[in-house]
Amino acid sequence: MTLSQRQLLGLLLVVIAAVIGVLVGKDNAMTAAVIAGAGGVAALLFSGAAGGPKLDGIRNAIRRAGMGKSVSAPEGAPDAVAALYEELGTLVETISDAKDRVKELESGTDEKTRDLQKQIERQNRALTERDAEIESLRKAPAANPEELEELQAELAVLQDEHASWSRRVQEAQTAAQALAEAVNMLSAGVGHQLDSSEQAGAHIKEVTSNLREIAQHVEVLAGSAEESSSSILEMTATNDEVAENIGELGASVRETVASIEEMAYSIKEVAKNVDALSLTAEETSSSMNEMDVSIDQVQSNANETARLSEEVAQDAERGAESILKTIGEIYRIKESSQEAVAVISNLGSRIDAIGQILNVIDEVAEQTNLLALNAAIIAAQAGEHGKGFAVVADEIKDLAERAGASTKEIADLIKTIQAESKNAIQAVERGAQNVDRGVEVSNEAERALKKILESSQKSTNMVRAIARATVEQAKGSKQVTDAI
């Protein structure tokens, strides 16, 4: 093996160590440094002046380490060689861990890819269902065009995002496959480099190219994973919004359909009611015609009632005037009665005076009768000489007796007149009382007539208002009849 080939092989080992360090990760920086150091030592050994047997042993150890097999330093090996074998052992463990991580990455990538594919299938089914629901909503009666347009726009955006997401997942799958192929190629290249150092230069270029592709695919895979995660979240939120909007739109459509059914039922009921209303309108028209005739009669009766009310008012006014005159005459009768009472009272007083005079006449008659008796006695004593005087005495006696009898008759007449006068006075007083009651009754009659007059005026006004309302009602009835 020439010196340039050794240098190339050492460089290859350094590159392999760096790649494994990248696969191990930033958190295992110490391990990456150890691997890089091991590669550097190996490069120095390959490029140095070490002896043939030692170099062959180290080559075999490196080949075993490249295949993932354990290595150990030979007995009696120098410290530098023992350290190299120890570093190779560490390299074997690191390579084994790297392969495990690559397998985990492949399995995780496959699992995530399967999950993504399942989610894509679910999204496809959901989109298909949404399309079917939108189509049914589009065909449904009374659907809201604005809501359908908004839903279609949201669905179009969702489909675009779904397509973009599918492309990103496909790119991630491609990157993962390329990463696995690059790792396999890298492992094969390492083994091949260890088997044949003559082709080191070409394989180094191929490994370098594979490493670049691995780095690019790793970056693409990381970016695709982040974009897929955010797209999944956005798509989930959008699906939730679309599902909610479709649910609300479905409920709205169901309510609209129910409203349309109720409206159709109401329209049928209205049609029935229209038929019944038409029949009722005909009956109403006939009734309105009859009512027009009745209104005309009511109007005529109202006018006649108004005329009669006016006549009653006039009669009431005349009656009030007559009552006022009657009250005046009653007052004059009352005055005349009072004058008659006064005259009769005076007459009673005069009759009382006549009674006193009769008493005097009666006393004079008694005295005259006594004188006649005395004269008769004296004439009897005189004998023949006293006969003439006796005749005179008898005549005086007869005259006295007749005067007494007349006085008694006059007294009886006076008593009768006095009694009649008292009766007349009582009658006049009762008449005066009746006159007072008549005055009160006349006043009450006057007040009643005034109330009658007021009521008659109100009745007349009301009858006139009824007549006017009847006229207006007749006009309205005629308009209703014409409209029917």
**Euclidean distance between CA atoms 241 and 161, whole angstroms:** 15
DSSP one-letter string for 149-166: HHHHHHHHHHHHHHHHHH
Where do the CATH 1.10.287.950 domains begin and end in the chain? Answer: 294-483
Cα 32 to Cα 39: distance, rounded to the nearest angstrom = 10
pLDDT level of residue 14 (50, 70, 90 thresholds): very low
Flag whether pLDDT at 74 surpasses 70.
yes
Euclidean distance between CA atoms 429 and 425, whole angstroms:
6
Q: Which of 81-90, 92-101, 358-367 has the lowest mean pLDDT?
A: 92-101
Residue 332: pLDDT band with limits 50, 70, 90: confident
The span from the CA of 22 to the CA of 105, in Å, is: 14
- Average pLDDT for residues 438-464, to the nearest whole number? 82
C-alpha distances out from residue 460 to 45, 321, 426, 442, Å? 145, 20, 49, 26
Phi and psi dihedrals of 61, rounded to 5? -65, -40
Of the candidates 74, 88, 72, 96, the residue with the CA atom closest to the CA atom of residue 40: 88
The CA distance from 358 to 259, in Å, is 126
With 50 as the cut, is the pLDDT of residue 18 above it? no
Q: At what angle do helices 3-24 and 145-195 cross, to 10 degrees?
A: 140
125 pLDDT tier (thresholds 50, 70, 90):
confident
Q: Determine contact, residues 46/9, Cβ cutoff 8 Å.
A: yes
User: Could you report the per-residue pLDDT of 210-223, keeping only the tens digit for each?
Assistant: 555 655 655 555 55
The 3-state DSSP class for residue 144 equals coil
pLDDT at residue 389, rounded to an integer: 74
Q: What is the mean pLDDT of the chain?
A: 67
pLDDT tens figures, 377-399: 887 887 777 777 778 778 888 88
The reply to whether CATH 1.10.4080.10 applies to domain 294-483 is no
Taking the C-alpha atoms of residue 251 and residue 417, their distance in angstroms, rounded to an integer, is 122
User: In the prediction, which pLDDT does 432 show?
Assistant: 78
